[in-house]
A and B are shown apart, each in its own frame.
Chain A
Amino acid sequence: MPQMNMVQAINDALRVAMRRDKRVVLLGEDVGKVGGVFRVTAGLFDEFGDARVIDTPLSEGGIIGAAVGMAMYGLVPIPEIQFADFIWPAYDQIVNELAKYRYRSGGEYPVSMVIRTPVGGGIRGGHYHSQHPEAHFVCVPGLKVVIPSNAYDAKGLLLSAIADPDPVLFFEPKRVYRAAKGEVPEGEYTVPLSSAAVVRAGDDVTVLAYGAMLYEALDASAKAQQQGVHCEVIDLRTLWPVDIDTILRSVEKTGRLVIVHEAPRTGGYGAELVSLVCEKAFYHLQAPPVRVTGFDTPFPYTLETEYMPLSHRILPAVLQVARA
């Protein structure tokens, strides 16, 4: 089986989908000739031509709005937003048009498309090349939100997202774009949406993570084990609709919960996860859930290792929850 990093796996998924289905088109800034700023769409312009791999002007609202229109009569556009930080000019199109279209038309106009966008810190990008804005999207009814942590999942989840009848926002954790390497099957396969993966089994503390922070959670869990604390680490993979059953099964076993995310804490996705667990498994909890997150500040150019919820911040939280 070929070894691929996440960039190559996503590229492969796009190629597979485009070969199989003429309705799939890519659009975005520099996705064509240049192959994308992170090279995710490299080679696709040459294979599929400029009618299907479209270099657009710098115009996020235009890109997403046009993609919605393309999808209304059956195209399957896959727009790229170059960095998730630049998605805001398109937020109106996503929230008010894309996510509501099926509902507003009484189911007559489903909109199937996947918005791809790199997300998160770790490249010293500063305020506007580092943010992790998932909380602003999981709260939008009609939209699905996905984030892989490794190459295999990236390809399988993307192929599922492309086949899905609903609009999907597909976050790509750029910190591990090239570092997360692994075996990736050629051709077709899927990883289902809304299915979390238990990537490390343990009985003491449930740790929920996703994207680049999964590796930090795993690192902290390995260190916790040396101190006799056994973590169960769950890679959520789809943030919405979330696989609550897998979470509950784990929390009912451990009674203890730590949630890790890069975004600021207040109003972050962790708050929703804590609420869900409290609503559905409150009497199983043996300690207050703890969130390890970015700070309630803009993302700084320097001090990334302080700002981000890396292993050195997760470990104390895990030990605290384990011993509470």
Chain B
Amino acid sequence: MDQTGELEKFYRSMLLIRRFEEEAARAYARGKIGGFLHLYIGQEAIAVGAAAAIRIGYDYVFQTYRDHGTALALGMDPKAGMAELYGKDTGCARGLGGSMHFFDVEHGFLGGWAVVGGHIPVAVGAAFKARYAEEDRVTLCFFGEGATNIGGFHEGLSLAGLWKLPVVFICENNEYAMGTPLKRTSPVTDIAVKADGYGMPGEVLHGHDVQEVRSRVAAAVERARSGGGPSLLEIKTYRFRGHSMSDPGKYRTPEELEERKKRDPLLVTRQTLLSGGVDEARLERIAEEVEAVIAEAITFAEESEPAKEESMHRFVYAAGEGG
């Protein structure tokens, strides 16, 4: 695919994520979705760029509770995602998990994880398995900068560094862990320096340029795949919404937000496409296609059956599934 064709594909994928989440936020406001909803709006280029850098369905991917974007970028059916948010039996976790707990085995998505840092050593174990089985699979493990303060991060990176495992740690540094800015919780401003202590390369890059993300993640993935060991990529980004739906985000100024929105990955990509010769009409057509997909996902979620009480008991032990 030529560069523009590829970028167009990325644009479509990012727009799908953006529109999925905007509609999810609307459904949340109408009480169709409950609990916690953490939006990825502003960070889409990271999921899309990283997904383009791996062998989807072969490689393993772990993400936090802020997981819709990554799941969709990997190719999860938006219908299964929206139905999960709605708590329906047709959702990707049978309506029992909700927003924070997406899964998609077909696309190698091992879950959204709501206990911060809990997934990091687990991702290391998945990478261990790949090498043990002599498969050249790579594991991607995403987390926020806040997560780099908890034990799971340090224990996970320590093992990965020691065992030189094929795992790429991606820290999506959006500057805030809930309401606390990085400078109030970390003595260092670049998370990437933490890689040093674990004998792996640490790199910093910016998350609004999807092609940059793709190529830098691809380099780390190829290094891991060819036996070069793990790395830590710190991708500087920003979330445009609150931490979750209940967060009005009063800890940052409107000016700061407006400034950051100038580097909205969708806006940036759109401008690149237009200046590269793609016309407005073409982008309009992409938007219409995306709208159709989203509308279908919502109808599907609205019309699906609610989560079943039997599912609640069924997946606790193998025996519950007749195993």
Contact = CB atoms under 8 A, between A and B. Distances in A.
Interface of A: 29-30, 33-34, 37, 55-62, 85-86, 88-89, 123-129, 295-298, 300-303, 306-307
A55 B176 CA distance: 13
A34 B251 contact: yes
Interface in B23-68: 34-36
A59 B97 CA distance: 25
Given A55-B185, A58-B149, 18 more contacts: A33-B180, A56-B185, A57-B146, A57-B150, A57-B185, A58-B177, A59-B150, A62-B150, A89-B151, A124-B98, A126-B101, A296-B316, A297-B313, A301-B87, A303-B96, A303-B307, A303-B309, A303-B312
Interface string B156-194: 000000000000000000000111100011100000000
A297 B184 CA distance: 38
A304 to B, nearest CB: 9
B180 A30 contact: yes
A86 B34 CA distance: 20
B147 interface: yes
Given A30-B178, A297-B312, A302-B95, A129 B114 contact: yes
Contact of B35 (A86, A297, A301): A301
B125 interface: no
B306 interface: yes
Contacts of B316: 296-298
A88 to B, nearest CB: 8
B178 A29 contact: yes
Q: How large is the interface on B (under 10, 10 to 19, 20 to 34, 35 or more residues)?
A: 20 to 34
Contact of B115 (A56, A57, A85, A306): A85
Given A29-B177, A86-B115, A89-B152, A301 B185 contact: no
B116 interface: yes
Contacts of A298: 316
In the A-B complex, the 8 residue pairs with the smallest Cβ-Cβ separation, listed nearest first, are: A124-B34, A301-B98, A57-B149, A124-B35, A302-B87, A34-B179, A128-B114, A57-B185
Contacts of A306: 309, 312
A55 B97 CA distance: 30
Contacts of A37: 178
A172 B312 CA distance: 26
Q: Name, among A29, A60, A302, the residue most crowded by chain B CB atoms within 10 Å (CB to CB).
A: A302
Interface in B92-112: 95-98, 100-101
B69 interface: no
26 contacts: A30-B180, A33-B179, A33-B251, A34-B179, A37-B178, A55-B180, A57-B186, A58-B149, A59-B149, A61-B150, A85-B115, A89-B117, A89-B150, A124-B98, A126-B100, A129-B36, A295-B313, A296-B316, A300-B96, A301-B34, A301-B87, A301-B96, A302-B96, A302-B98, A302-B307, A303-B307
B35 A307 contact: no
A314 to B, nearest CB: 18
